[in-house]
Amino acid sequence: MDDILERLAKSDFRRKFKLKDKDKLYIEQKGLETIKRHAQDFISKRIAPAEISNDGKQTPMKGHPVFIAQHATATCCRKCINKWHKFDCGRELTFEEQDYLVNLIMRWIEKQIEM
Ligand SMILES: [Zn+2]
């Protein structure tokens, strides 16, 4: 997991995404457990289904720290997930795969908070 985060950090596009102070404050107020539940919710509803009508546009660029983390970790849409994490498009993601994506998002968020 740290290996993929390292590779993502070398991508000029991915590494532009960083948590702002207001994102960190939001995380502090909500707590990491709640943020993780939000991540699980976004992944299961916006990312996991086999068919996504607006794939590539379903993850806003701001508005929730998890959205920013999704762009930074290439878990923003099925095309990026296919390219970076090798999960095929056009089928529902398994619970294990969803769990992997959520854990990656949370790992990235934890690293951002430490900075
Ligand atoms: Zn994407």
Sketch the domain layout of the chain as residue ranges: 2-114
71 Cα to the center of ligand 1, angstroms: 7
C-alpha angle 110/112/114, rounded to 5°?
A: 70
Q: Phi, psi at residue 83, to the nearest 5°?
A: -65, -45
C-alpha angle 53/97/10, rounded to 5°?
A: 85
79 Cα to the center of ligand 1, angstroms: 6
23 Cα to the center of ligand 1, angstroms: 21
| DSSP tag of 14 | G
Alpha-carbon gap, residue 77 to 47, rounded angstroms: 6
pTM: 0.96
Q: What is the pLDDT at residue 65? A: 98
Q: What is the pLDDT at residue 1? A: 82
60 Cα to the center of ligand 1, angstroms: 10
Q: Phi, psi at residue 40, to the nearest 5°?
A: -60, -40
Average pLDDT by consecutive 10-residue portion of the chain (115 residues)? 93 96 97 98 98 96 97 98 97 98 98 91
C-alpha angle 32/96/63, rounded to 5°?
A: 40
By the CB criterion, residues less than 5 angstroms from ion ligand 1 are 76-77, 80
